Structure 1
């Protein structure tokens, strides 16, 4: 492999690792990200670090200000509302498609297998509530929603969800101590509606679930906490 290809690979590795650490809360919102520290942490030169930070800024995970350096971003009210509005559209469609599959293909082994997977994820999530730090819950939350997107059979919806999945996990991680019980109870209701083939109910429950997540985030992280206008 040539040098440029190797450098690009290292930048991708730093990008994935740094994004995961931001999502996990290793670097909280507002934290300064210093290039020398990151170079030492990941064992790379400044070039891959700078490329990773540039991509993370494009994704909205960090902000760069002249003479002030790079810091982990805060998600303000307007951005949160926009993100959750997009999420509502994607996930309401996704879960309805899943319920439609259960209603139409109930005897298909793949459908039965997916139902078992949903039950396993919900059981794991509810069980994780007993862990004091609840660090397993954010990735489990992502896995639950990603599983629905995959099972929907719609490649476009899946691709759209993947684009916002890391940011959803990031926001969920900020509120997992407060939202944990409610979110996994809601997951259980959504899973039950999907497996019963209740299309309208599944869509309604998912819409309420995403709205509750937004309301909780706004109350705890923004000064003017209200739900999506018109909801």
Structure 2
């Protein structure tokens, strides 16, 4: 079996961030470290985030930890419950379906804003990322490369609202993209990789209508598979 068709079933163990120093903006540092940990799957949806544990882990007081959690709530990564605590945001199947339907509609628009401003160097980098995704059988590496690929495809857009909205939607669906990646078979993997290359080809050809259709179908494929696996959502812990 080639590397491109090998099953994506090797998940890396959680990474433990080094303690933070007390100088500088401690809340931003805690937020950055927690964001990376949540996006990387160290804290699954519905898991409790205890302020005292985070403060001890990162060598910070509780005040910057609280500020960091508020920033992550704005990012869509954390749910704060008054007088109760903080949890990693989790979605029900219905919520996830709605978020993905939103992504199907707004990401093609963001791509349309971005595409005319992607030069040859940017497109070459997208091609390299697509090739690296096809070569890896490591789930976490694939997810990191995939996120970078799509963020770079949107990097040419200068928007007031849309870019931030798409980043938030990506944050809230990251754990479900991981579940999707673990579920798909070799045939579906090839389709995913083909779509990445098709997107780059359409962007090179300045065929923005096709590029929009590719990204819309790319997102829809994930939504439809997740909808057929409600157990992904039923096994997650509830947030009070």
Alignment TM-score, normalising by the size of structure 2: 0.72
**How far apart are residue 217 of structure 1 and its match?**
2.8
Q: Deviations 1:176-209 (Å, cap 9, x if unpaired)? A: 2234824333212222222223332222111111
Equivalent residue, structure 2, for 1:60:
76
Equivalent residue, structure 2, for 1:216:
225
**How far apart are residue 98 of structure 1 and its match?**
5.6
Equivalent residue, structure 1, for 2:32:
16
Asked if residue 25 in structure 1 is aligned to residue 41 in structure 2, the reply is: yes
Equivalent residue, structure 2, for 1:185:
194
Equivalent residue, structure 2, for 1:127:
135
For 2:31 and 2:86, the matched residues in 1 are separated by: 14
Structure scoring higher RCO (CA < 8 A, sep ≥ 6) equals 2
Pick the structure with more helix per residue: 1
Q: Could you say if the C-alpha distance between residues 22 and 173 of structure 1 is closer, same or farther in structure 2, counting changes exceeding 3 Å?
A: same
Stretches of 4+ aligned residues off by more than 6 angstroms = none
Q: Deviations 1:83-134 (Å, cap 9, x if unpaired)? A: 22332233212334566x39xxxxxxx7322221121010011112x23xx2
Structure 2 unaligned regions, length at least 5 = 1-21, 235-240
Alignment TM-score, normalising by the size of structure 1: 0.75
Count of paired positions: 206
2:110 aligned to which of 85, 91, 94: 94
**How far apart are residue 8 of structure 1 and its match?**
8.4
Equivalent residue, structure 2, for 1:105:
none
- Give the secondary structure class of the aligned counterpart of 1:74: coil
TM-align CA RMSD: 2.8
**How far apart are residue 58 of structure 1 and its match?**
4.1
- Higher mean Cα deviation, 208-217 or 54-63? 54-63
- Give the secondary structure class of the aligned counterpart of 2:140: coil
For 2:77 and 2:63, the matched residues in 1 are separated by: 19
Asked if residue 155 in structure 1 is aligned to residue 159 in structure 2, the reply is: yes
Q: Could you say if the C-alpha distance between residues 119 and 45 of structure 1 is closer, same or farther in structure 2, counting changes exceeding 3 Å?
A: same
Q: Could you say if the C-alpha distance between residues 15 and 194 of structure 1 is closer, same or farther in structure 2, counting changes exceeding 3 Å?
A: same
Question: Is 1:95–1:194's contact at 8 Å kept on the other side of the alignment?
Answer: no
**How far apart are residue 7 of structure 1 and its match?**
8.8
